[in-house]
Amino acid sequence: MIKKIFIFVLFFCLSWNAYAISLISDEETESWLYDILMPIFRAASLPLDRNYIHIVKDDSLNAFVGDKNHMFIHTGTLVRASNSNEIEGVLAHETGHILGGHILRLKIKMQDLQKATLASLLAAAGAAAASGRGDAAIAVVLGAQSTAINAMTAYQMSEERAADETAVLLLRKNNKSVAGLKNFMGKIQHTNRLQGIEESAYFRTHPITSERISFFDDKLKQEKNPIFDTQMDHRFRRIQTKLFAYLAPLPAILKRYPLEDQSIQAKIAHAVYYMRQKNISQALKYTDELIASEPNNPYFWELKAQALFETGRIKEAVQAYQETLNLKPESELFKLSYAEAVLASEPNRTDMEKLIPMLEQTSRKHVSPASYLYLGQIYAQLGQDAMADYFAAEYNHAIGETALAQKMLTKALKKPLRSDIKLRAEDLKAKLEQDKKKNSLF
């Protein structure tokens, strides 16, 4: 269930500029991605943190990695992939970037590029002063930047080739085919042609797609009986259907999944379709049919819970979310959804106090800023101002509001805090000081 969209401002090493991306949160998709990534990371001898898997709301065919092995994959990649093996290939390629240390190296290269640009500006100022001609200054800047960008482009292309080679090795360790990666490259090539993009090696950060397809084709010929996981693919089909139903224009949903289609995938699409239209009776008709077919499927119960919640039937939503937790008690995202529903149901003091241990456990795992938000709200309603201020500080730090985080933390530290929370508050204080130092460098 795609329930929330959070906007984060992130610093990416490719540009050193901050920009916003939309991340969507969905238990079923993230669980599946974790299961896909685990054997890849194991083959790479890398630790995998479930919280470092992110779904980017973006229609383009893309995936990328960030600092500390954070893995990002676009919804466009998930929706347009033909099978789970294509996703395996894409994620193996991105894991190749992690193994190659490309994130750190690229940061160093970007610093060199920044230095070159600064040097060109200084030289331009000197040329303009000496000649009195602005065109001389422009020539100096363009010449220096062109040289630096060409060097950067060549560097990134070599890293992409290295990541492709590593992806093949990681897939082979798991006896998985490179066919998916080859086919996905074909999708990129087709998309480029439709958009009228002329592929050439000049000013590109990736090798020419046809070259990459040829490389994977050669590797494909060397394979011997690779494994194709039909169960993972079965899960993937349902995830694709749900993502499409949430993100596509409404007419496109019934075009792909007409109402006469009685398959499980179609019923998922129809439930979301009517939910988006706020037609609760029809949405519940399909969620109930799904639950009747698979009573122990937590994602079908989650779909029903969301339909109830979004149409104001909060008490019933609480019960449905409780069922999702009964079926998958380890899910941190289900805990957050359950807590949100309880808090919207006009809870009494006892109801709120019961949520605290669950949410505090979740907040320690840094699953979502929502855990801090809900705890802040609960403690505020319970009259525990110091705790409310501390969790408000954590929440604002998590969403990038550092000034407000500092203000709330200062307030919290002036009051008595529980010993374990006091330690966490001191840790947050140190983080905010580090952030301040980092920001002063840019």
Rounded Cα distance between 421 and 70, Å, is: 27
Kind of pairing between the strands at 63-65 and 71-74: antiparallel
Nearest to 229 by CA among 172, 174, 170: 174
Please write the tens of the pLDDT for every residue from 4-23.
Answer: 444 333 333 333 334 467 88
pLDDT digits (tens, 9 = 90+) for 236-246: 999 999 999 99
- Could you give the C-alpha distances from 89 to 81, 110, 174, 427, in angstroms and in order? 11, 28, 12, 39
Q: CB–CB of 171/178 below 8 Å?
A: yes
Contact 176, 216 (CB under 8 A): no
Q: From the centroid of its chain, how far is CA 7?
A: 11
Q: What are the residue ranges spanned by the domains of the chain?
A: 4-104+149-230, 248-332, 347-442
What's the CATH number of domain 248-332, 1.25.40.10, 3.40.50.2300, 3.40.50.720, 3.20.20.10?
Answer: 1.25.40.10
pLDDT digits (tens, 9 = 90+) for 64-87: 888 778 899 999 999 999 999 999
State how far the Cα of 293 lies from the Cα of 272, in Å rounded to an integer.
17
Each residue of 265-307: pLDDT tens digit?
Answer: 999 999 999 999 999 999 999 999 999 999 999 999 999 999 9
Is the pLDDT assigned to residue 223 strictly greater than 50? yes
Distance CA 405, CA 430 (A): 12
Read off the pLDDT of residues 205-215 as tens digits, 9 standing for 90 and up: 455 677 888 88
